[in-house]
Amino acid sequence: MKSTNIALRGLGFIAIALVVIFPFWVTSTANPESYLNVMITAGTSAVLTLSLNICMGYGGLLSLAHTGMQMMGGYAIGLAMLNYDINPWIGILIAAAASTIFSILMITISLRATYLYFGMITLAANLIAMESFRTALGNDGMITEIYRPAWGGVDLSTRQFYFLTMGILAIAYLVQRNTILSGFGRATMALRESTDTASALGVSPNVQRVKIFAIAGGLAGVAGAILAMQGSFMSPEIGDMGGGLIFFVGLFLGGVGTLVGPVAGVALIAAIDFEIRFSGAYRTLILGALLLLCMMVLPRGIVGTFRASRLGSPHELKEEPDTSGEEIITVSSGVAGETAIEAIDVVKHFGGIKAVDGVSISIRRGRVHGIIGPNGSGKSTLVSCITRYHQLTSGEVKFFGAQMPKTPHKVARAGVTRVFQIPHLFERVSVRDNVLTGMYLQEKYTWIEAVLRLPRYSKGTRAEEKQAAALLHIVGLGKKSEIAAANLSHGQKRLLEIVRAVSSRPKVLILDEPATGLTQGELESLHNLILFLKNEGLAVVLIEHNVDFLMGLADIVTVLESGKVIAEERPEAVRNDPRVIEAYLGRTDISELMGE
Amino acid sequence: MNLQALFDGLFSGAIYGLVALTLTITYQPTRIMNFAQGETFVLGAAVGFEIIGVRKWPWPVGLAIMLVIAVIMGLIMERMVILPVQLSGSRFAWIIATLAAALIFQSIFSLRYVGDTLSFPPFIDKTFSVGSARISAQQIIAIIVSLLIIAIYDQFLRRTIHGRAMRATAHNPDTAIILGVPTKRLVVGAFVGSAVLGALAGFLWCPENGINPATGLSFTISGFTAAVIGGVGSPRGALFGGLIVGLLNSIAGAIFGGIASGIAVFVALGLILVLKPAGLFGKPIEGH
């Protein structure tokens, strides 16, 4: 373990120790209750900021309804308590449930909305929720006399309530950490980077978004419950966006998309807020200005800046990790030569442009199927049609004799993985995590198992990490497994992307111009990798402009021009086919003159 | 059909359309949806309140002072928003920056006008009766001015070289720079222009319905809803979106009572996003 990590862990323990001794330390002061209440408020804010971090920082979902979710939780526990005399302990769960339902409703309405629109819909929903409580409940929506839970027949004292809040904060932090570090979290981050790539790895974008937003909603609801019990009231103003600024400030100050950032940021903000507590109406002004300043001076926040620095970022390993004895499982059993994909008369028109105009192609296991053709001949479009990124104009695609599923992520689940022409790595996460994201489809454990770290999760994760190390070893990236993918060279990124695709154990692997921009050494690595996969029984589709590279690998080559197949034969035959030469070089007589 | 609701809806719809237009103007070259836009609206009302309402100076003077202060506010806002966004590089930077700006202005207004409702007498104090319904001269003026401004901006985008530069920048800022469009100046211009029009909208609105100085954000949201329904980027869309929001608000409110108006608009927004995500007049826009 690195010395920085030990130092950080030490810092964490000191922070926890301080939180534990704090109530005993302030008993000697004039008004210990007020100090405890400041800390309880900060703890509640931290829970809400963790929730905001999950959906904004990791999920890439712009939520402007977090104060509303909190309000929803507060009203749920308050109304349950006052109208149905529900026990506060159960009330906390009811608050979480109510807020989860509210967030699920919001996100189902707005699944089609892009990022900005999504944020605005949440904001509108927030305002409507506030207005509804104000109108429906009378007394301007104010409800009072919400009480705290009891322990052993006595209501919790402020000190006990303090420990309850900190306990809930610890749980919220663990929920966040364990969610993000699991396959569930990797799928979420994949979605944040690119919907297309996430789909190619088998993540269902809509389902994943609903899940992550629901988790954020649940946490926010718990925060609302604590808030209601602490202040013993709930009002629509709690849902006001202006009050929610403090969560954004905390999140940004600490670092968006970092695990500890939200807590660190809120702690700092709470300290500042405590200092300016007598400024009254100037509070919002000061916080607003602070937020703008923080964005300019510390754009990544405290934790984010530290992580990006030399001290805080992971280094390359000294030597390749030993992965001998680890068997690499790439593909499930099957017969070589069996037809995997059968595309029949595929047609795709964009307006008047006939990008793919009646192509039939059959892709078999244990073969490398090359596709070449001049620019604009429809190679990538054909692949997009097969993998359902495009709707077909007409024609049909079969997968092992059955109908190919209709959406990209279902195609991926069936066993067709695609590597895009432009690199689509998850740049901000480590090389190893990129590969682990590819294993999403093999993960057997549920979100709950990941959060509680149950045996199935631990066993699965250990096995995955070994697989990932072995796969990275093949392409010589073992040393770099800890560093962020953004720091790799272009060629290494391409190799990593292919490794990630392979780690999903597909039956068919589609590579779109993988050799572009690779050095000679990297080309050899790629060549060996593809050969290895083919011998394992994978069907490999290889779209490539580097003809030499392709000819050395392909068992059969399909030549496309203007959306039509002009030749499909063995590589040697393609080289001498006059139609192919004409397509590439124009008239045959001229190309002959040029000595081709 | 309730004629009064129709008149009120037309009036507020025209104003919302104007706010939607101001959001569009800054959105196009920057891809920033300015949450602080509603504060310019409050500014217009606040200047009118101080000059015409409290000091009793004549309307044209109030208008002139309002325009000057709005230009200054536009310049300040541009720096407040663009600088952090450029330095930060986070994909959420714009929202945090504009939200922070909105709250800073909001707290300034709240501090200055504690407990006041901003209001001042109309330019022409006259009201016409149509059956049982009434429409004021102020409302008619507001509708006409909004329509005119939107029509002029529409023609500006289509006919003039500056308008084309604006559209080019909206489409692809990098390419626009290569073609020699001074995008930085264009951005400053967009902020100033939208601040002026936003303040004008508040100035026209205020004599009819006084406003609370802390409610800028809710005007931003109404304007945004209008822009989305009409299609972000299109002046005609802004107008139609504004009218839809205004009329839905007042008619649903008149028939089913207060809470229904907000819900009716939200349902309309949801429907548009599901059925025609680009809005009635818009081309699809991409997220950041």
Helix (H, G, I), strand (E, B) or coil at A170: helix
Q: Which residues of chain B have pLDDT under 50?
A: 286-288
What Å distances lie between residue B83 and A422, A438, A466, B80, CA to CA? 31, 38, 46, 6
Alpha-carbon distances of A105 from A129, A213, A224, A368, A551, rounded to whole Å? 12, 10, 18, 47, 54
Domain boundary among A239, A256, A283: A239
- In-domain check, residue B280: no
**Do both A142 and A283 map to the same domain?**
no
Same-domain check for residues A58 and A169: yes
Q: Which tokens hold the place of A487? A: 């720091």
- Set of chain A residues whose Cβ sits within 8 Å of the Cβ of B116: none
Give dist(CA B32, CA B86) in Å, integer. Answer: 12
Across-strand partners of A419?
A511
CB contact under 8 A, B228 and A120: yes
The DSSP symbol for B211 reads B
Classify residue A24: in a domain, yes or no.
yes
Same domain, A209 and A293: no
- Residues B250, B9 contacting (CB under 8 angstroms): yes
Tell me whether residue A509 is in a domain: yes
> Residue A123: closest CA among chain B residues belongs to which residue?
B221
Please report whether residue B281 resides in a domain: no
Statement to judge: residues A91 and A177 lie in one domain: yes
pLDDT the model gives residue B231 = 85
Helix (H) or strand (E) holding B134: strand B133-136
Number of residue pairs across A and B with CB atoms under 8 Å? Answer: 120
Chain A residues near residue B93 by CB distance under 8 angstroms: 295, 299
Q: Please tell me the predicted confidence (pLDDT) of residue B48.
A: 92
Residue A378 lies in a domain: yes
Residue B209 identity: N
Decide: residue A194, CB within 10 A, 0-12 exposed, 13-18 middle, 19+ buried: middle
Question: Looking at residue A554, which CATH number applies to its domain?
Answer: 3.40.50.300
Structure tokens given for A318: 């000294």
**ipTM associated with this complex:** 0.82
B94–chain A nearest CA distance, Å: 10
Q: What is the domain count for chain B?
A: 1
Contact: B99, A241; criterion CB under 8 Å: yes
Chain A closest-CA separation from residue B130 CA (Å): 32
Whether residue A375 is contained in a domain is answered as yes
Q: What pLDDT does residue A586 have?
A: 62
Beta bridge partners, A143, equal A234
For the whole prediction, is pTM greater than 0.90? no
Query: Of A208, A224, A239, which one is at a domain's C-terminal end?
Result: A239
Task: Please indicate whether, in this complex, the C-beta atoms of B270 and A109 are within 8 angstroms of each other.
Answer: yes
- Is A231 found in the same domain as A110? yes
* C-alpha distance from B101 to closest chain A C-alpha (Å): 7
Greatest extent of chain B over all pairs of C-alpha atoms, in Å: 60
Query: Per the CB < 8 Å rule, is B89 touching A112?
Result: no
Do A227 and A358 lie in one domain? The reply is: no
Closest CB to A245 among B103, B214, B285: B103
Same domain, A405 and A363: yes
User: What are the structure tokens assigned to A8, written together?
Assistant: 């950080």
Contacts of A128 in chain B (CB under 8 A): 262-263, 266
Print the domain residue range for B54. Answer: 3-275
- Distance of alpha carbon A482 from alpha carbon A314, whole angstroms: 6
Q: Of the candidates A239, A254, A289, which is a domain's last residue?
A: A239
Q: Does B29 map to a domain?
A: yes
Instruction: Establish if A454 belongs to a structural domain.
Output: no
Note whether A419 and A510 are same-domain residues.
Answer: yes
Contact yes or no for B269 and A124 at CB 8 A: yes
CA distance A94 to A225: 9
If asked whether residues A94 and A193 sit together in one domain, one would say yes
If one counts the domains in chain A, the total is 3
In a domain, B11, yes or no: yes
Residue B89 at interface with chain A, using a CB cutoff of 8 Å = yes
**In CATH, what number is assigned to the domain containing residue B58?**
1.10.3470
| Structural domain containing residue A496 | 339-425+488-593
Q: How far is A280 from chain B (nearest CA, A)?
A: 10
- Phi, psi of A376, deg, nearest 5: 80, 15
Query: Does the distance separating the beta carbons of B273 and A248 come in below 8 Å?
Result: no
Taking only the tens of pLDDT, chain A with its 596 residues reads 567 778 888 888 998 888 888 888 888 888 888 888 889 989 999 999 999 999 988 988 888 889 999 999 999 999 999 999 899 999 999 999 999 999 999 898 877 777 777 887 888 788 888 888 888 887 888 898 888 888 888 888 888 999 999 999 999 999 999 999 888 888 898 888 888 888 888 888 899 999 999 999 999 999 999 999 999 899 988 888 767 777 888 888 888 888 888 999 999 888 888 887 777 778 778 888 888 888 888 888 888 888 777 776 777 666 666 666 566 665 555 667 788 888 888 888 888 888 888 888 888 888 899 998 888 888 888 888 888 888 888 888 888 888 888 888 888 888 888 888 777 888 878 888 888 888 887 777 888 888 888 888 888 888 888 888 888 887 778 888 888 888 888 888 888 888 888 888 888 899 988 888 888 888 888 888 888 888 888 889 999 888 888 888 889 999 888 888 888 888 888 888 888 777 776 655 554 554 44
- Amino acid present at B260: A
In a domain, A330, yes or no: no
Residue A478 lies in a domain: no
- Taking CB atoms and an 8 Å limit, are A296 and B111 in contact across chains? no
- Sign of the four-CA dihedral A5, A6, A7, A12: positive
Please give the backbone phi and psi of residue A259, each rounded to the nearest 5 degrees, phi first: -70, -45
Burial class (CB in 10 A: 0-12, 13-18, 19+), A138: exposed
Nearest by CB to A116, from B33, B99, B217: name it: B33
Q: HEC string of A523-538?
A: HHHHHHHHHHHHHCCC
DSSP assignment string, A40-103: HHHHHHHHHHHHHIIIIIIT----S-HHHHHHHHHHHHHHHHHHH---HHHHHHHHHHHHHHHH
Cβ of A296 within 8 Å of Cβ of B83? The answer is yes
How far apart CA A486 and CA A483 sit, in angstroms, is 8
Return the pLDDT at B185: 87
Residues of A in contact with B286 (CB under 8 A): 114
Residue of B nearest to A57 (CA): B92
Q: Does residue B185 belong to any structural domain of this protein?
A: yes
All residues of chain A having their beta carbon less than 8 Å from the beta carbon of residue B111 are: 281-282, 285
Q: Residue B237 domain-assigned?
A: yes
Same structural domain for residues A122 and A196?
yes
Domain-located, residue B104: yes
* Residue B145 contacts A, CB cutoff 8 Å: no
Specify whether A157 is located in the same domain as A62: yes
Residues A224 and A257 in one domain: no
